Structure 1
C-alpha cells in the first residue's frame, strides 16, 4: 500500500472521528449495526471504507451534509488505489473496458513486465489462462470469455497508425509455466510476429543482463501522464507528475538492460524450443 494512500486513508479516518463527536465508538457501532472493531479500523485508517459506509456514517452521526465531502474523499482514495476486491465484484470484463479508455486516449505507451507476457501481446488462450488464475485467486465472478474478447479487441490498437507501444519484458516471463505447453508455445510464436511492426518496439531483458535496479512490479505508462501499477491487492493509478516521472526513470533504466531485434528472436527461439519439447 502506498504511503500517499495510507496517509489519505488516515486523514479520512480523522474526519470520521471528528464527525462522531462525543459519542463512543460502541454507541455509534450500535446505531450502524456494525462491530465496534469496524468503527475503530475506519477511524484509524486500518480499513478502507466503502461508499455506503461513509454515507451511513454521515447519517448516523447527524451530519448528512457531510455525505458529499466524505464520498469525494473516498473517490480520491480510489483514484490512487483501486482494490481488486472492489473492481472484480462484477468480473474482469468491466476492468478491461476501463483500461481500454486509457489506451485509446494515449499515443505513446510504455510497459514493463517481469512475470508474464503483457496483456496487449497475449493470445486469446494465454489471456484465458491468466484471467482464470486471477479469478480463482480473488474469488471473482468468472466472466472469462467476455474478458478475453475485450482484451483481444483492445489489441487492435497495436495496428493503428500514430500510436507507439514500447514494451520491455524480463526473459523470465517467457518461461512462466502458467498455461499448457501448447498455449505457451503459441504465445511465444505470437511475440515473434510482432517484431518489426512499426507501432511496437519489443525489448527483453535477458537472463544474466546487468541490472541497475531489481525487475520488480509490472506497470504501464500512458503518455507520461499516468502510471498504472499492478500489485496483488490492487491497481495503483498514479498521476502526480513526480511519481509518474519516477516510473519513467524505472522504465528507462530497465530498458537500458534490454536487447532488441535479432537478439529477441534468439531468446524467443530458446524459450519456444523448451515448450515444444513438452507438447
Structure 2
C-alpha cells in the first residue's frame, strides 16, 4: 500500500475497508473483535463503514486483536494517521464561497472551550479591525463583503466568558503593514484593548527573543481534539492525538517566552506609536 499526500481525502474510506477486510480474513465477527478490543460492536461497525475515524490507539488495539504482523500494523497505522489528517485547499474555499468557511470556523469556535492561536505572520480575523480584514482579503476572488461581515460577526465569541483564548503573536505578525500607518496604529491598539478581557490572554514575542524552535506556520488548537495549520495554498486539519500533542508542545514553548498583560501592553503601545 503506497501512501501519498493526495490520498488524504480517500484515506478514511481506505482505512475502513482495510480494517473490515482484515477482520474477515481473521475469521472474526464484529462482536468477537469488539470484545477483544474492549470496544462496543457499534463502534467497530461505525469504524468499518467510515462513519467515524478511529484514533491511532483504536487501530493499534484492533491490529493487536487480529494478530497482525508488525509490518502490516505499521502500514495500517500510517493509513490511520492520514485518515486523521485532512487537507482543505484554498481554491476549494474560493469555489464554495469564503463566507462558508467563516461559518465552519464559527462552528469550531462554538464547540471549543479552550482555543490557542499561534500567529507568526499576521493578525487573525478574530482580533482584526474591519479595515485590516478587508485589506487581508484583497487577493481573494469575487465579492468579499459577505466574508468581511462574517469575520466581524465571529468576533462576538471573544466575549463569551465560558471560553478561554490565548493568542501568541510575533512582532512580525503585529507590525506587518497590511494597512496604512494610521490604521495599523488602530489595529495594534485593538490588541491592547482586547487583552484586558478576563478570558483572553494576548502574548507578544519581540524580535530577538531566543526560542530554539523557529516559527513555521499559523496554527490553532481547539481544546485538545483538533489542530488547523494554515499555509498559502490551504489548511491542514489534524485529529491524531500525537500531531495535536506536538502542536500543543510548540505552543507551550513559545508561550513561556511571550510577554503578557502590562508587559505586552507596554510593547504594543510602543509599536503603535511607531505608526503614528
Q: Give me the TM-score of the superposition, normalised by structure 2.
A: 0.70
Q: Secondary structure at the match of 2:137?
A: helix
Q: Distance in 1 between matches of 2:99 and 2:255?
A: 31
1:209 aligned onto 2:209: yes
Residue matched to 1:6 = 5
Deviation at 1:111, TM superposition (A): 0.5
Distance in 2 between the 1:193 and 1:4 partners? 48
Partner of 1:66: none
| Alignment size in residue pairs | 207
1:46-67 deviation per Cα after TM superposition (whole angstroms, max 9, x unaligned): xxxxxxxxxxxxxxxxxxxxxx
Kept after mapping to 1: 8 A contact 2:203/2:260 = yes
Cα pair distance change 1:245/1:178, threshold 3 Å: same
1:269 match: secondary structure: helix
Which residue matches 1:123? Answer: 129
Other-structure match for 2:239: 239
Correspondence for 1:107 among 86, 91, 113: 113
- Spell out, residue by residue over 1:127-181, the C-alpha distance to the aligned partner (whole angstroms, 9 max, x if none): 1111113x1xxxx32x322111111111111111210001111011121012122
What is the DSSP-based 3-state SS (H/G/I as helix, E as strand, rest coil) of the residue aligned with 1:215?
Answer: coil
Instruction: Tell me by how many angstroms 1:256 deviates.
Output: 1.2
Give the alignment of 1:152-163 within 5 angstroms. Answer: 152-163=152-163
Q: Structure 2: which 5+ runs fail to align? A: 15-78
Alignment counterpart, residue 86 of structure 1, candidates 92, 95, 100: 92
Structure 1 runs of 4+ off > 4 angstroms?
9-12, 76-79
CA contact (8 A) 1:5 1:80 kept: no
RMSD over aligned Cα atoms: 2.4
Unaligned ranges ≥5, structure 1: 16-72
Distance in structure 1 (CA, Å) of the matches to 2:224 and 2:273: 37
